[in-house]
Structure 1
Amino acid sequence: MDLDFSGLIRESDRVVCGQATAEPVTLTEALVTQAGHLPAFRMMVGPIFSDTFSAACAPNISFQSYGVIGNARRLAKAGRLDVIPSNYSAFCADFASRRHRADVVLVQLAESGDGRLSASLSNDYVIDAARGARIVIAEINPDAPWTFGAEWPADAPIHLRVAARRPPVELPPAPLDDVSRKIASHAASLIADGSTLQFGVGRIPDAILSSLSHARNLGIHSGLINDAVVDLIERGAVTNAEKGIDAGITVTNQVIGTKRLYRFVHENKAVSVRLTSYTHGQNVLARINRLVAINSALQVGLDGSVNSETLNGVAIGAIGGQLDFVRGANASPGGRAIIALPATASDGTSRIVANVETVTTPRADVDAIVTEWGVAELRGCGLAERARRMIAIAAPGHRDALSAQLRAAH
């Protein structure tokens, strides 16, 4: 029987639930189903990869997030998602400082044979949220992997426990296409043996990882890991031997993939699911050898400014950990910060633009921009040279217009 939320949810409560594949679906589905009979409350969500939340959810639920990722786009398109523009590291830290308040926390946990609990697939903000919450409800999922680094701490209370009725959410890899393969080929030229990788969700990061099976002694220190990481480890490309810290250990904040990945990380001491303060912390990232940050964008300006958040004034992306890792890679000995994106949007417009509408990563922090047309090395370049290099990696059909816009601006 589903948990009855009557009496548990109060007027104007902020309900925080696990994000991405760590969403406690048994609990969130029950809450959404019962919402029409509950007082008005606010739901704090992260990336959504389930079908739990839709624009048809009860109108007394208001939604808030640090970005528009996955199925959160449905809520944003319906005007039901309030976005907090924040670096992921700062967003998580704000729960620890109580800047963000949590009244009710819903979390998915794994339990070991001897009763130890683990946050399993994500070691993000829910633990700090739980420490200050009025009520914490844990969904114990026997199919969730028990992961090291994400052990549930004794000072984070659990008031109610329920049994999961379905396995964890999965996110299969997207099929690769010619554009992503071309981008991957260019990006791979910037990744030397012994590099430590950070990457996000999507076709382009997957393509880049799949192009690195020939590499040697790669390391992983990332906001997430996916199924492609298992391939690299099994092929011997990832050894984590030259990272400078955490030798032999793949470090991540979230585990986002399929059952294959979940089986791989289960009770695997060579994988550590660490707190955001460690995975995204500048003092940690600066100690890693040859950290290569691989991130994506909606637009890049001719001056190198990166927009990963909005198009035409509408939020369709996120700051996420992009700036955390760009700056971390710039501080890392031998590090590289790569922004990879298709040169052309699905509607045929150029994603290389004269000026971006929102600046996610400032031009002062940018290193290399990669499209299917090549690499623009921007670090140390003046504005005129940056514009020339950016136009060179735009789609050929847009280069004349960009050059004309540049001349008009001067």
Structure 2
Amino acid sequence: MPELSAPIDFSGLIREDDLVACGQATAEPTTLTEALMAQAADLPPFRMMVGPVFSETFFAASANVSFQSYGVIGNARRPAKAGRLDVIPSNYSAFCADFAARRHKADVVLVQLAESVGRLSASLSNDYVIDAARGARLVIAEINPDAPFTLGAEWPADVPIHVRVAARRPPVELASPPLDDVSRRIAAHAASLIADGSTLQFGVGRIPDAILSSLSHARNIGIHSGLVNDAVVDLIERGAVTNAEKGIDLGITVTNQVIGTKRLYGFVHENKAVSVRPTSYTHGQNVLARINRLVAINSALQVGLDGSVNSETLNRVAVGAIGGQLDFVRGANASPGGRAIIALPATASDGSSRIVANVETVTTPRADVDAIVTEWGIAELRGCGLAERARRMIAIAAPEHRDALSAQLRKSAR
């Protein structure tokens, strides 16, 4: 099939009310998405399905375009703030499975691929695009020579690619944010819950990076995660990650997405010790329950005094996502020796408490919660009654908010 070097012309390709699905996060095919957004005003109205957005592609999207996503992550906040993003409240595993089951049906799929000796790989993310492509009318692939060829994410021979386009720029990168005192204090508490031989799952951000950075002297750590980042390369090079005691996939770092910089992309390129697996495997409960000492590290916007976790909304506005949090919390709870950690700063940027009497949206139910960590300590909640949970949660709130939380608790008990 010929490869186009000029920008693609989408006229005649996009039909009215088409659902266009594109690769997410660092797997966004920016040569294609930028061309589509540049031409959108001259196209029929269509819908765009996105995941986390780390580019600036959609900042000034035409009014012809509406957006859908399973959450509001990164620069997806722009269309969300403008009231143009419809959030699908779904666990990440279920969101991906819905493409396989055709509950979500993409008409057009835009994907970034790597190529090696005639083979193709989904490269930086093995998420929903392959299943979306199976049922799509049109699949357009951006072949990016700078995208790493990752094992486990090989493009299936039975999924057609209708148009190939040469990438005009390297993949999106996301550098690790600088650590601060609060994230380091949180990390110090969380690290005390992570034993040698644990297998880690974690997300994007300052707190996960701080926790990973604090584990450089750990032994026989494993990785089975929704993503890997540059901090994982540090741990592998220091010998902390061996994947020797996971129980499955021995010696292999398993991930669904690769989110980082050129350093990480070079590390995973044709690396047999890294497997970029589909969501059905990375987030599957039957898989997670087989992993030894799986430690799930996730964050939150708020945690209630009963342990309920909110990672989705503030003031009833969507600003986060369910993502894979509940998948991994339940997987860690089912894992032999596993731990489910929710780590967050005790206060928000405006000084308000992120430990609250009651959360406004429940992402992870209180029945699934294990340990909550802030810079002020650890609240071990598994097996605790509501009164003891409240006491422990107040103890890890910021000191200036503890009296008010105690007063709210007494008021609600009347």
Q: Please report the TM-score for the alignment, with normalisation by the length of structure 1.
A: 0.98
- Cα deviation, 1:60-108, whole Å, max 9, x if unaligned, reads 1000000000000111111111000000000000000000010000000
Using the alignment, how far apart are the partners of 1:151 and 1:286 within structure 2? 26
Q: 1:333 to 1:311 in 2, by over 3 A?
A: same
Using the alignment, how far apart are the partners of 2:233 and 2:240 within structure 1? 10
Superposed displacement of residue 156, structure 1: 1.1
Using the alignment, how far apart are the partners of 2:394 and 2:82 within structure 1? 35
Checking the alignment, whether the CA contact within 8 Å between 1:55 and 1:80 is kept in structure 2 is: no
Checking the alignment, whether the CA contact within 8 Å between 1:45 and 1:64 is kept in structure 2 is: yes
Checking the alignment, whether the CA contact within 8 Å between 2:40 and 2:61 is kept in structure 1 is: no
Write out the 4+ residue segments of structure 1 that deviate beyond 3 Å after TM superposition.
Answer: 55-58
Superposed displacement of residue 54, structure 1: 1.3
Using the alignment, how far apart are the partners of 2:399 and 2:231 within structure 1? 32
- Cα deviation, 1:281-309, whole Å, max 9, x if unaligned, reads 00000000000000000000000000000
- Cα deviation, 1:186-205, whole Å, max 9, x if unaligned, reads 00000000000000000000
Checking the alignment, whether the CA contact within 8 Å between 2:295 and 2:339 is kept in structure 1 is: yes
Using the alignment, how far apart are the partners of 2:159 and 2:40 within structure 1? 26
SS of match in other structure, 1:398:
helix
Superposed displacement of residue 150, structure 1: 0.1
Using the alignment, how far apart are the partners of 1:65 and 1:310 within structure 2? 14
Partner residue in 2 for 1:127: 130
Using the alignment, how far apart are the partners of 1:215 and 1:348 within structure 2? 34
Unpaired runs of at least 5, structure 1: none
- Cα deviation, 1:222-250, whole Å, max 9, x if unaligned, reads 00000000000000000000000000000
- Cα deviation, 1:149-182, whole Å, max 9, x if unaligned, reads 0000011110000000000000000000000000
Using the alignment, how far apart are the partners of 1:382 and 1:28 within structure 2? 50
Checking the alignment, whether the CA contact within 8 Å between 1:294 and 1:338 is kept in structure 2 is: yes
Using the alignment, how far apart are the partners of 2:141 and 2:347 within structure 1? 44
Using the alignment, how far apart are the partners of 1:380 and 1:177 within structure 2? 33
Aligned partner (choices 9, 22, 29) of residue 4 of structure 1: 9
SS of match in other structure, 1:147:
coil
* Corresponding pairs, count: 405
- Cα deviation, 1:36-62, whole Å, max 9, x if unaligned, reads 00000000000000000015534x100
SS of match in other structure, 1:122:
coil
Using the alignment, how far apart are the partners of 2:324 and 2:127 within structure 1? 12
Partner residue in 2 for 1:361: 364
SS of match in other structure, 2:212:
helix
Checking the alignment, whether the CA contact within 8 Å between 2:356 and 2:405 is kept in structure 1 is: yes
Using the alignment, how far apart are the partners of 1:359 and 1:281 within structure 2? 22
Checking the alignment, whether the CA contact within 8 Å between 2:346 and 2:374 is kept in structure 1 is: yes
Superposed displacement of residue 214, structure 1: 0.7
Q: 1:143 to 1:130 in 2, by over 3 A?
A: same
Checking the alignment, whether the CA contact within 8 Å between 1:306 and 1:360 is kept in structure 2 is: yes
Superposed displacement of residue 255, structure 1: 0.1
- Cα deviation, 1:234-288, whole Å, max 9, x if unaligned, reads 0000000000000000000000000000000000000000000000000000000
Question: Within the alignment, does 1:136 sit opposite 2:132 as a pair?
Answer: no
Once the two structures are overlaid, the 10-residue window that deviates more, 206-215 or 48-57, is 48-57
Q: 1:283 to 1:245 in 2, by over 3 A?
A: same
Partner residue in 2 for 1:31: 36
Using the alignment, how far apart are the partners of 2:413 and 2:26 within structure 1? 46
- Cα deviation, 1:337-367, whole Å, max 9, x if unaligned, reads 0000000000000000000000000000000
Superposed displacement of residue 409, structure 1: 3.7
Checking the alignment, whether the CA contact within 8 Å between 2:305 and 2:390 is kept in structure 1 is: yes
SS of match in other structure, 2:95:
helix
Using the alignment, how far apart are the partners of 2:16 and 2:392 within structure 1? 55
Using the alignment, how far apart are the partners of 1:87 and 1:299 within structure 2? 18
Using the alignment, how far apart are the partners of 2:251 and 2:16 within structure 1? 48
SS of match in other structure, 2:330:
helix
Using the alignment, how far apart are the partners of 1:76 and 1:165 within structure 2? 28
Partner residue in 2 for 1:240: 243
Checking the alignment, whether the CA contact within 8 Å between 2:37 and 2:61 is kept in structure 1 is: no
Using the alignment, how far apart are the partners of 2:185 and 2:172 within structure 1? 30
Partner residue in 2 for 1:53: 58
Unpaired runs of at least 5, structure 2: 1-7
Using the alignment, how far apart are the partners of 1:55 and 1:361 within structure 2? 34
Q: Please report the TM-score for the alignment, with normalisation by the length of structure 2.
A: 0.97
SS of match in other structure, 1:278:
helix
Checking the alignment, whether the CA contact within 8 Å between 1:55 and 1:78 is kept in structure 2 is: no
